[in-house]
Every structure is written in structure tokens, then in C-alpha cells.
Structure 1
Amino acid sequence: MKAIFKLSMFIMVSILLTGCLYPQEKKKENQIPYEDQIQSVQLAVDTFQESSGGLLPIKNKDMDTPMYLKYPIDFLKLTPQYLSSSPGNAYESGGIYQYVLIDVETKPTVKVIDLRIAEKIREIKTRMKVQGYPPYKETIAKNIYSIDYSKIGYKTEPYVVSPYTNNNLPLVITSTGEIYVDYSSDLFISLQENDHNFSPGDDIRQILSNHSPIVPAYSLPYTIDENNEPVYME
């Protein structure tokens, strides 16, 4: 009975926090990664880097931070000298996107992360804390499992909406209890629709961000098998 009460309280708090986190989320302009907004930030980043002797306007992260989360843009370093204000769809302005840099060693490129995905993962983790241990279900790949949502109070399986196809994507859990989005179906479609020269062993996630302003954050590395289909990287 106490566990049920704790779970209910966690869910209520999570819902309240979600509502507070994105107070302007319903504004249409804050939900779309407009190309002109990204280009204006790209120009500001390029100008900052040139004037600072190669430095980038990013927040410091640990070295082991996943690559798509590793270089968040620090708008305090860009405004107002290089940019009048952070874009309306940026988290800092009440939007749902985190602006980040990829390819920082070669050509720093501005992309965005859909933070609604992070919120869904946070919601599931909140319920897992009440459970006390990871709700593993079936083995999908080595150290990767589907999630038994019934053990953490869900009546239907949650999902995230793909920023690439608008399809519903499942989530998976690792042997360490971390939760990730399963982008397999998106990757399969992108591999079929776009030219590429990937070989088994290559991380193929870049094919998604190459054709979209959004990066596949909260994902595990994928490669291709002998049939040119996406599989989790060993």
C-alpha cells in the first residue's frame, strides 16, 4: 500500500514539474525548429569562434557525456553581442529545444534536441525509483532489454514521437538501468531513402541528423548488418 501511495505521489509531482518546465510549450512558434532560427544561431557561433580564437560558446560537460548531449550551446556567451536573444523555440526562452553543437572537431554545426523525449525518459525513471529495481522484460540485444511497464504502474506502454517520421518509437533499458529511445525504425527508413557508404562497425546515427535539424539524442550507437539493416552496436 505504501508503494502504491509513493508511486502516486511521484506521478503527481512529475506531472506538475512537466507543466512548469515548459510554460510556453503550447505556443506554436516554440515547437518547430525553424531553419532561420538555427541559421541565426549558426552565424552567431561562427562569429564567436572567429573572434575568440577558436573557442566555442558551449557549456562544460563531463568527457563521458553522450556525444549528442556533450556540447550544449551557452546563449549567455552569445547574447547580446552575437545574438540579440536566444531563439523562441530554445529551452532558455520557454521552448522545447536544446541547442547543441555537433562535429566540433571539424565543422561545428548547430542542431537541436527535442526535450520532450527527455521528459518522457525522466517520467519513466521516476516510476522506476519507486519500484527499486529495473523492470526488465525481454532481451533485445546484448545488455539491452524491453521494459515491463506493468511493474511500474503503466496500463499502456509509453512511447516517444519520432522527430523524423512522427512514428511512435519504443524505449529500451540497458543492464545498467539507463533508458534510451529505440530509433531502429527511423534508421531503417533513412537508410532506404538516402545514399550512404556505411560499413558494419560504423555508427550510423548521423544519417538522421544529416537530413534533419534534430539529433537522435538519448540513443545507443547503431551500425548495420550484412543486410544493410540497423542493429545495435556491440
Structure 2
Amino acid sequence: MVRVKQAVVLCLIVLLAAGCVRTEEFNRQVEKDLPQDIQRVQTALDEYMKHTPVLPIKEAPAGVHLYQKYVVDFSKMQSVIDSPPATSFGKGGHYIYVIVNPGKEPEVRVMDLRLIEKVRDLQSRVDAYRREQADVPKDKKEGPNLYSLDFKALGEEPWTIPSPYSSRMDLPILVDEKGKVYLDYRKDVMQKLEQAEEKPPESKDLRRLLYKDSIFVPVFSPPIRLEDGDPVFRADR
């Protein structure tokens, strides 16, 4: 009887391991397909916009960050696309499809749901701290009404959030006077500026540089502008 149970357990372990391998292989394939999926949605969006000036987007809640505002509503695009891509959240993927440049030439990009969930988790901890301490866990000033997040005050080790633009870089985490959490993409912007042939005007929002040649949007980023050759946060966000 013991041998039978051991055999059953062994079979279950083998099946689970095989299932995990298949899941990992599927996820890797999905990640590999992401650029093609974005191009497919872009083609569908271009066709959709030939027939109506109204963007196929979901209604955004008040106060949502700019690059989380124009989420693609695939239910409105059924005439131009068979089904949402496997990489999309609605199909079990890790990505939410969004539209940038909505008033000019709409372009499709994505935001990583895993990054969003991590920031939301951190936001809930900051909110709990504010309720208990009647204060914001802020540390060094990083810009107008922006500070580095004081993880020590939260009683936690510093979190790391990888940049979607560089595998070797983590995004510093910020908080404003009201306890709203942001991500700091200034190092990524600086890399783009160093690669640019011409420096953009100081009035330009530099976040566009990040998604111009990338499939990702800079979620939770405050507006960034150029000042004396360096990317800085704008006060009018």
C-alpha cells in the first residue's frame, strides 16, 4: 500500500513538473509574440479609425495616470480584430493594451500588469501608514512635491521594480505630499537624451522619448522636462 501511495505521489510530481515546464514554455512564447501582437492591434486600430473618430477605449476612472488612461476596449473592435491577443490581460496575459498620442496619430503600446500590481500593493501600504501615522513616509526631496519613499518608516526593506526599458536598471520609487506613489524614469530618459542627435526643447514632456521606440509606456511617471541638460520633474503635473 505504501509503495502504491509513493508511486501515485511520484506520478503527481512528474505531471506537475511537466505542467510547469509547459506553462513556462507557453509564457516565454507569449512574451516572444508580444511585438507581433502589438503590431496586429495597431493594424486593427488604423482600420477602425478609418470609419470613426472615436477611440475604442474603456472609460477611465478619475485621477488615473496619463498612460493608464486610454485602455483599449477590444469589445469595440470586433469588426476589425477577431479576438484580443493571447498576451492581453483579457486572455490571461500580463499586458494591458493602451493608446498613446490619442489626439494625433494613435499608437498602440502596453503596460505590464505585474508592475502595476506591485505599485498598487505598495500604494496600499503607504495608505495604511498614512492612516496610522497621519503622515507620509517620505525621505529625500527629488523634485517639486516629490520625495524618495522612506521604506524604513514603513518597516520594510527597499523594494526593487525593474525598468521596462533596461534590464540592468531598477526604478526608484517616489511619493508626493499626499502619499501618492510614483516611479522615477529619469535615468532611462537620460539614456535616451544621450542617444539623441538633437536635444528636445525644455517645454517638451520627455516621457514620450521612452515609448517612442519601445512597446512600453512609463506608467506611474510624473511629467519630465529638460532643464540645463538634465531631466527633471515638472511642477505642473
Identify whether the pair has TM-score above 0.5, normalized to the shorter chain.
yes
Report what 1:159 is aligned to. Answer: 160
Report what 1:185 is aligned to. Answer: 187
- Go from structure 1 to structure 2 and tell me whether the alpha carbon gap of 1:64 and 1:153 turns closer, same or farther (over 3 Å shift): closer
- Structure 1: stretches of 5+ with no match in the other structure: 1-23
Report what 1:13 is aligned to. Answer: none
The structure that is helix-richer by fraction is: 2
Q: Distance in 1 between matches of 2:94 and 2:175?
A: 24
Q: Distance in 2 between matches of 1:134 and 1:95?
A: 34
Matches within 5 A, 1:89-104: 89-104=87-102
Give structure 1 regions of 4+ aligned residues with deviation exceeding 3 angstroms: 29-33, 62-65
- Corresponding residue SS for 1:151: helix
Report what 2:9 is aligned to. Answer: none
Q: CA deviation at 1:32?
A: 5.0
Does the 8 Å CA contact 1:208/1:216 hold for their aligned counterparts?
yes
Q: Distance in 2 between matches of 1:170 and 1:212?
A: 20
Aligned to 1:169, which of 151, 168, 171?
171
Query: Paired residues, what number?
Result: 207
Does the 8 Å CA contact 2:85/2:91 hold for their aligned counterparts?
yes
Does the 8 Å CA contact 2:127/2:179 hold for their aligned counterparts?
no
- Corresponding residue SS for 1:34: helix
Larger Rg belongs to: 2
Report what 2:20 is aligned to. Answer: none
The share of aligned pairs that are identical, in percent, is 29
Q: CA deviation at 1:63?
A: 6.7
Does the 8 Å CA contact 1:180/1:219 hold for their aligned counterparts?
yes
Report what 1:48 is aligned to. Answer: 48
Report what 2:12 is aligned to. Answer: none
Q: CA deviation at 1:61?
A: 1.9
Q: Which sits farther off after the overlay, 175-184 or 64-73?
A: 64-73
Report what 2:224 is aligned to. Answer: 222
Does the 8 Å CA contact 1:127/1:153 hold for their aligned counterparts?
no
Q: What are the superposed Cα offsets for residues 162-190 of structure 1, whole Å, 9 maximum, x if unpaired? A: 11112111110011211111001101111
- Go from structure 1 to structure 2 and tell me whether the alpha carbon gap of 1:195 and 1:33 turns closer, same or farther (over 3 Å shift): farther
- Corresponding residue SS for 1:200: coil
Q: What are the superposed Cα offsets for residues 182-216 of structure 1, whole Å, 9 maximum, x if unpaired? A: 00110111110123441223211101111101111
Instruction: State TM-score, norm by structure 2.
Output: 0.80
- Structure 2: stretches of 5+ with no match in the other structure: 1-22
Q: Distance in 1 between matches of 2:67 and 2:128?
A: 29
- Go from structure 1 to structure 2 and tell me whether the alpha carbon gap of 1:174 and 1:199 turns closer, same or farther (over 3 Å shift): same
Does the 8 Å CA contact 1:30/1:90 hold for their aligned counterparts?
no
Q: Which sits farther off after the overlay, 110-119 or 29-38?
A: 29-38
- Go from structure 1 to structure 2 and tell me whether the alpha carbon gap of 1:109 and 1:153 turns closer, same or farther (over 3 Å shift): same
Q: Distance in 2 between matches of 1:211 and 1:120?
A: 25
Q: Distance in 2 between matches of 1:210 and 1:192?
A: 15
Does the 8 Å CA contact 1:89/1:95 hold for their aligned counterparts?
yes
Q: What are the superposed Cα offsets for residues 17-48 of structure 1, whole Å, 9 maximum, x if unpaired? A: xxxxxxx7982234457221111101111222
Instruction: State TM-score, norm by structure 1.
Output: 0.81
Q: What are the superposed Cα offsets for residues 127-168 of structure 1, whole Å, 9 maximum, x if unpaired? A: 2233224211121222101111122231x2102111111211
- Alignment root-mean-square deviation, CA: 2.0
- Corresponding residue SS for 2:205: coil
- Go from structure 1 to structure 2 and tell me whether the alpha carbon gap of 1:32 and 1:181 turns closer, same or farther (over 3 Å shift): farther
Report what 1:140 is aligned to. Answer: 142
Matches within 5 A, 1:17-56: 27-31=27-31, 34-51=34-51, 53-56=52-55
Higher relative contact order (CA 8 A, sep 6+): 1
